[in-house]
Chain A
Amino acid sequence: MKIKFRLNGRDVEADVHPSETLLETIRDRFEITSPKGACTQGVCGLCVVLVDGEPLKSCLVLTPEVQDSTVTTLEGIKDERIETVRESFVEKHGFQCGFCTPAFILRTYTLLGRKLSREEIREELKGTLCRCTGYKAIVDSVEEALIKVRE
């Protein structure tokens, strides 16, 4: 199926299988590596991308569904506030092996501007797994990023 969408700021076209997921398309056809398929069973949430600004699991999106949509991965975020998010993750040790890190950083980006308690941060970030950190340092990082951006 021929489809067109906007990917990280440029218009792209691809001829995809009907049952091809957005995760496959952006990794295999466009060689964008930050979204990872750690389970490709709809659980791990490491494949998160923004579709028209909404974070979705790209293994649960059929590529033909994003016709005419805007798709953004961590690579495509040009807003300088993303640097604040990154700094916060570095400072607060919000990662270890790093495999889930692009997903958590992209999801944190979607929360910027909001004022959230630690409990609310945990609620908002449900759906992405991390096997290394025990999450505490991730929550620290997100909390820090939200405060810094608000300031």
Chain B
Amino acid sequence: MTDIERVDALDKVTGRALYVYDLKFPGMLYAALVKSTVPHGIIKKVDPSRALAREGVEAVITGSQLSHVRAGIYIQDRTPMAAEKVRYLGEPVAAVLARDLRSAREAAEMVEVDYHELSAVVDPREALREGAPLVHEKLQEYHRYQEIKPLPNSNVANVFRLRKGDAQSILQRSDLVVEDTYTEAMISHAYMEPMSVIAWWNPDGTLELWTSAQSPFAVRNLLSKALELSESRIVVHVPYVGGGFGGKAGLHLELLVALLSKAVGGRPVKLTLSREDNFYVAPSKVGVSAEGKVGLSKEGKILALMVNYLVDAGAYADYAVNVGKTMGYIGAGPYDVPNVWIDSTTVYTNKPFATAFRGFGILEAHWVVERLLETASRKLGVDPVQFRLMNRLRPGSTTSTGQRITEGSGDLAKCLQVAADMVGWGSRKSSSHPTYVGRGVALAMKGPSVPPYNSAQAYLKFNEDGTLDVSVGTTEIGQGTMTSIVQLVAEEFGIQPNKVRVDLVKDTSRSAYTWQTVGSRSLFYDGNAVLAAVDDAKSQIRRIASKVFNVEEEEISIGGGKVFVKGGSRALDLKDVVMGYVTANGNVIGSPVVGRGSFVVPDLTYLDSQGQGNPFPVITFGAQSVEVEVDVLTGVVKVNKYVGVFDLGRVVNRGLAMDQLVGGAVMAISLALNESIKFDEGGAILNPNLVDYKVAEIGDVNDNLIGVFLENPDPKGPRGARGIGENALLGIPAAIGNAIYDAIGVSVRDLPITPERLWREIRAQRPELLEV
């Protein structure tokens, strides 16, 4: 297919694109949050009197006033603000509403809160200890998704177990057993548009919201449950979204702002987080530590894998429980391992909480599995590329959950060969002290982590001039799916893309439904739904045209903006058919065409008690390789070259796919080398700002970021295609870690690999490299 121009281009390059951050309404009040100053404590008293006396302040609403409402996507462990007790430092306990932001912010500082401080648990390992302070005392009472099972009287939100074969006994009989422990820091999504919500109640009781969210329909659904308000009484608007990366999936501040608006008689209320508040109040990526163990035969076949994940959710595990679960069920990832044992335990701590992040647990698991297997292959003396080729999943083999791999998932071996060749695997490296060059590879495998029933709708309606309006439920968060949707539709009718308009901004009362804009599912789900709508419209068109031409419907073709009889010379313009064909005497054949479509994958399953089942609607394979340069004296790692090879089934818009590949690569390099939210012992964030939370800058990366796409069509994908947004990151941290080992023989286990951290590892593992 030929790329088309992005459909959101002009709005964005003129600066006219509006985000919730930019919106305001007449009479709107601005909210500011009063945040907890202790990590764990009973709220004894909230005194708003000084704040209320301040000019401009209209109301102060406390958490306890809203404590009757709970929400959450996988476990309803949150109230809109802290009510009886605070569970992390920085948790909102009250909100000030004022006529302008400055008054609201200043008044928020005047609200006095007394706490009875409780002992806090900040370290997830400590949280597991007997007698550790409990973050949630009534865990078992929370409403939850059926697969999530919190342990009463503990800090355990969920334990996911996967058992395939008998890993424990096979490990004892393996020729080589390698074990290691890995950690990954909590990370901020650092999307550029901070979280922002406006809520406004209509006189008829309808709640209207404008939110910087990935998933308007999930917001609506979860609000509906929390507020006991029907979904048709909630209208969620999502204009342009300034980045999400998983951090704006599910429900976040919408419930709070809706209740704030209600508390002031339905006036519009806006809450935009400052960057600092965004670090505390908006959730981040989970922290992980993992103990891995792998058993191999002397020929290099992986016999068994055990991984024990400990997932730090922070104070609320609403979404993190599912991240922890997914980390578990990806199991051995792209490897064919007959015996797999995984425990993934998601725990509460007294820290700001975590949510989905681009890669959703699978990113985290790749760091563990790919580093562990690399270490194993090196110990065994098998070339890491050959080792991966030997042990990879292939058509006919099953994943760790027992899901069967088909040809449709593409050619993993080819991905790896191309990635290895293009990074110069096996060729000479020019190292000279103190700079050492190394290369690393990692495989990548991912499917969307979604409930089996997740689905999408689409519809399209023709206009009188033959142009058409298309609606899908997915949001434009920068990934460009809307453009791919337009391209698919335009191609189907053979018309210019500018004749197809898609609903770039969402309104849940009008837009077609989709579950969420997450997990690289949009092109697959919404793309399939829109093609179903196209097919529906086409059959209506054929029905009309067959009557006009007096031929069978099967003889009608549609293309090039025309409707014609196959092999014949008779043709009509689409516009003369799509509103009904008007005959010479004024009669009408047919009626206006509205195409409707929807999509679901019918044969997905919940996972059973052994973690077995079919969770993935679709699986995408890839391989990623890097060349790094390590300065051993400073510990600085530079990525000289990155190659990402993915079998996407089919590429709809090459430019957009490449944008995801490159943008994802830089995000992954940035988080692998630099990014971590740093906490002190009391759970306070030490770097709640973009000064000391370092996001890759323009000068930090180079141009040597190469993407290659293989196209073995996936029969399930829309015209064979699958998405790439999340896949772009998966193996990169591990490939960097593997390349560092290749360069200097130092094993890194902890992310991020900051210069000081690597310098310490070098000093511990290869002190001779530091001799000067």
* A17, A39, A133, A134 — most chain B CB neighbours (10 Å): A134
Please name all residues of chain A whose beta carbon is closer than 8 Å to the beta carbon of B701 when the two chains form the complex. Answer: 134-136
- B703 and A98 contacting across the interface, CB-CB below 8 Å: no
* Shortest CB distance A21–B (Å): 11
Q: List 10 A-B contacts (CB under 8 A).
A: A33-B15, A38-B242, A75-B15, A93-B656, A95-B12, A96-B659, A102-B15, A125-B698, A127-B697, A134-B662
* Shortest CB distance A41–B (Å): 5
Please name all residues of chain B whose beta carbon is closer than 8 Å to the beta carbon of A41 when the two chains form the complex. Answer: 275-276, 689-691
- A98 and B242 contacting across the interface, CB-CB below 8 Å: yes
- B659 and A39 contacting across the interface, CB-CB below 8 Å: no
What per-residue 1/0 map shows which CB atoms of A19-36 lie under 8 Å from chain B?
000000000100001101
Please name all residues of chain B whose beta carbon is closer than 8 Å to the beta carbon of A133 when the two chains form the complex. Answer: 659, 662-663, 666
User: Considering only CB atoms, which chain A residue lies closest to B664 in the complex?
Assistant: A134
Please name all residues of chain A whose beta carbon is closer than 8 Å to the beta carbon of B19 when the two chains form the complex. Answer: 36, 99
- B698 and A122 contacting across the interface, CB-CB below 8 Å: yes
A132 within 8 A of B: yes
User: Considering only CB atoms, which chain B residue lies closest to A35 in the complex?
Assistant: B15
With the chains together, A123 CA to B503 CA distance in Å?
Answer: 38
A97-B690 CB under 8 A given contacts A33-B22, A102-B15: no
Please name all residues of chain B whose beta carbon is closer than 8 Å to the beta carbon of A127 when the two chains form the complex. Answer: 697
- A129 and B697 contacting across the interface, CB-CB below 8 Å: yes
With A90-B10, A93-B6, A101-B13 given, name 6 new contacts (CB 8 A).
A46-B192, A95-B12, A97-B243, A129-B695, A134-B663, A138-B698
- A96 and B192 contacting across the interface, CB-CB below 8 Å: no
State the interface size on chain A (CB cutoff 8 A). 47
- B243 and A131 contacting across the interface, CB-CB below 8 Å: yes
- B6 and A128 contacting across the interface, CB-CB below 8 Å: no
- A99 and B659 contacting across the interface, CB-CB below 8 Å: no
With the chains together, A101 CA to B747 CA distance in Å?
Answer: 40
B241 within 8 A of A: yes
A115 within 8 A of B: no
- B275 and A40 contacting across the interface, CB-CB below 8 Å: yes
With the chains together, A42 CA to B12 CA distance in Å?
Answer: 23
Please name all residues of chain B whose beta carbon is closer than 8 Å to the beta carbon of A89 when the two chains form the complex. Answer: 9, 13
With the chains together, A41 CA to B433 CA distance in Å?
Answer: 39
With the chains together, A97 CA to B193 CA distance in Å?
Answer: 9
* Shortest CB distance B730–A (Å): 16
- B690 and A39 contacting across the interface, CB-CB below 8 Å: yes
With the chains together, A98 CA to B192 CA distance in Å?
Answer: 9
User: Considering only CB atoms, which chain B residue lies closest to A41 in the complex?
Assistant: B689
- A90 and B193 contacting across the interface, CB-CB below 8 Å: no
Partner of B667, one of A38, A75, A131, A138: A131
User: Considering only CB atoms, which chain B residue lies closest to A95 in the complex?
Assistant: B12
With the chains together, A137 CA to B479 CA distance in Å?
Answer: 14
With the chains together, A41 CA to B667 CA distance in Å?
Answer: 21
* Shortest CB distance A45–B (Å): 9
What per-residue 1/0 map shows which CB atoms of B684-714 lie under 8 Å from chain A?
0000011100011111010101000000000
Partner of A44, one of B8, B662, B690, B696: B690
- B666 and A134 contacting across the interface, CB-CB below 8 Å: yes
A132-B663 CB under 8 A given contacts A41-B275, A41-B690, A98-B11: yes
- B665 and A134 contacting across the interface, CB-CB below 8 Å: yes
B655 within 8 A of A: yes
A139 within 8 A of B: yes
With the chains together, A89 CA to B8 CA distance in Å?
Answer: 12
Please name all residues of chain B whose beta carbon is closer than 8 Å to the beta carbon of A123 when the two chains form the complex. Answer: 699
Please name all residues of chain B whose beta carbon is closer than 8 Å to the beta carbon of A130 when the two chains form the complex. Answer: 192, 698
* Shortest CB distance A63–B (Å): 13
B240 within 8 A of A: yes
With the chains together, A137 CA to B663 CA distance in Å?
Answer: 9
- B243 and A129 contacting across the interface, CB-CB below 8 Å: no
With the chains together, A92 CA to B11 CA distance in Å?
Answer: 16
State the interface size on chain B (CB cutoff 8 A). 57
Please name all residues of chain B whose beta carbon is closer than 8 Å to the beta carbon of A100 when the two chains form the complex. Answer: 192
A74 within 8 A of B: yes
User: Considering only CB atoms, which chain B residue lies closest to A123 in the complex?
Assistant: B699
Please name all residues of chain B whose beta carbon is closer than 8 Å to the beta carbon of A93 when the two chains form the complex. Answer: 6, 655-656, 658-659
User: Which chain A residues in 65-116 approach chain B with CB under 8 Å?
Assistant: 73-75, 86, 89-90, 93, 95-102, 105
User: Considering only CB atoms, which chain A residue lies closest to B690 in the complex?
Assistant: A43
A90-B6 CB under 8 A given contacts A39-B275, A138-B698: yes
A148 within 8 A of B: no
A131-B11 CB under 8 A given contacts A38-B193, A44-B690: no
A2 within 8 A of B: no
User: Considering only CB atoms, which chain B residue lies closest to A137 in the complex?
Assistant: B659
Please name all residues of chain A whose beta carbon is closer than 8 Å to the beta carbon of B573 when the two chains form the complex. Answer: none
A126 within 8 A of B: yes
Please name all residues of chain A whose beta carbon is closer than 8 Å to the beta carbon of B666 when the two chains form the complex. Answer: 133-136
B194 within 8 A of A: yes
Of all A-B residue pairs in the complex, the 3 with the closest CB atoms, nearest first, are A97-B478, A134-B666, A34-B15
User: Which chain B residues in 173-191 approach chain A with CB under 8 Å?
Assistant: 189-191
- B192 and A97 contacting across the interface, CB-CB below 8 Å: yes
With the chains together, A90 CA to B479 CA distance in Å?
Answer: 14
* A96, A98, A131 — most chain B CB neighbours (10 Å): A98
Partner of B698, one of A97, A101, A139: A139
A129-B192 CB under 8 A given contacts A39-B690, A40-B275, A99-B242: yes
* Shortest CB distance B302–A (Å): 33
B5 within 8 A of A: yes
- A135 and B243 contacting across the interface, CB-CB below 8 Å: no
- B192 and A136 contacting across the interface, CB-CB below 8 Å: no
User: Which chain B residues in 631-680 approach chain A with CB under 8 Å?
Assistant: 655-656, 658-659, 662-667
* Shortest CB distance A98–B (Å): 3
- B691 and A43 contacting across the interface, CB-CB below 8 Å: yes
* Shortest CB distance A130–B (Å): 7
Please name all residues of chain B whose beta carbon is closer than 8 Å to the beta carbon of A101 when the two chains form the complex. Answer: 12-13, 15, 17
B168 within 8 A of A: no
Partner of B275, one of A38, A97, A105: A38
Partner of B21, one of A36, A43, A129: A36
B119 within 8 A of A: no
